[in-house]
Structure 1
Amino acid sequence: MKAYTKPFLAIILILLADQALKFWIKLNMTLGQEYRIISNWFIIHFTENNGMAFGMEFGGEAGKLILTLFRIVAVCAIGYGVIYLVKHKYHRGLILNVALIFAGAMGNIIDSTFYGLIFSESSYFQPAKLFPPGGGYAGLFHGKVVDMFYFPLIQGSFPQWFPVWAGQEFVFFRPVFNIADAAISVGVIAILIFQKAYFKEEKKEESYPHSEIIEE
């Protein structure tokens, strides 16, 4: 059971932090409201999206339903993957990063699945209410994902000689995201960076039986 402890704690902590912050945002901020935490480059900006991570959209109401159901299937597969990796004693770093991806996916699924049922609609004039008398703003699987972290680190305009976007304004980093998105991104990037170390032991185990046959 010790092998499950760190991944399980990571999942619980990310889910609690993600949902606690989203609840606070929904109940205390209006759409578009923002707090400047560090100058103009770290901003808490309340927005919602109907689609994927970092505010990307996907195909209206039908697309929203398909995406939410796909997320549920995907998160079940990832959860099974975490258990499989633990049971087969894969690299602890790999297990932890897959757990981060699982927690992030689960965090956004909670929004998509339940927020439409338990919250009233957020507006530009007043915050949402929890368990409103008239019911929530949408049905099951049709909730909106809450985003809040905005890091416009670099703002400016493309030079006139620049192709396609000449003279247009740009912002880096433009997408608004949440803790769940960040957990997914950290997990995926870490796996890509450290994949050689994570799968090194597995490759050695696979090649070992062949070396014995050659020696015999």
Structure 2
Amino acid sequence: MASPLAKQRQALIAKTAPTPIRETGVDTAKSLHLHLLDLETDIRFLSGFNRIEDKIKHKREVLVPKYRPYVTAYLESGEQYDNPVFAQLIIWLFDIEDLETAIDWCDKAIEREIDTPERFNRDFATFCSDEVLKWSEKMANQGHSVEPYFTDVFYKVRETWRINEKLTAKWFKFAGLHLLRDSEGEPKATAVGDIEVLEKALNYLEEADKQYANVGVKTMVEKIQQRIRAIQEGRL
């Protein structure tokens, strides 16, 4: 049963939150200014929440469902123009961990050369890489799978996106250490007996060090090399 405080908060949301937008075949470019006005109101309303969990809940239950039809119509229209509503919704999709849509729409934003919201000092490739890496670290630490999102974005980091060296190094470091996790989730060279896996982890960590020397992989690189030699020489 909801507490009196929770009921009061829900009543406040129902009373003051702007009503959902319903797209009915309108010209998305012409209606953009109306959505921007509404978005400004929603962001101001969102800032009134004290707890992060309440903000996320409001984004998941109210804001994302509200703006998704408009953004979907914008994407399906094929029109090319800067769209801050689209940009903001991508940020909220990451906040609510709808990674499938968030990553897909990040790709579309990059293709359309859409900028991140004004308060951000990162482009979408950097923002997406950072968010998915943090999510992967959290999932791995909790013993959950990081797929398919880690592999999907790691490919982009390696092959298509030109993000900064420090963040690139963190991706290669995570990829290497993830291959070495033992049954307790701790990365240990001694937990792996397959030379092919060890060499793959070694290559990732060496690339991490190459990208950013202070990423902190040198000790693990040495341990992997020792482990490989021990296996090859039959000293186990």
* TM-score where L is the length of structure 2: 0.19
Please state which structure has a larger fraction of its residues in helix. 2
* TM-score where L is the length of structure 1: 0.20
Please state which structure has a larger fraction of its residues in strand. 1
Bigger radius of gyration among the two: 2
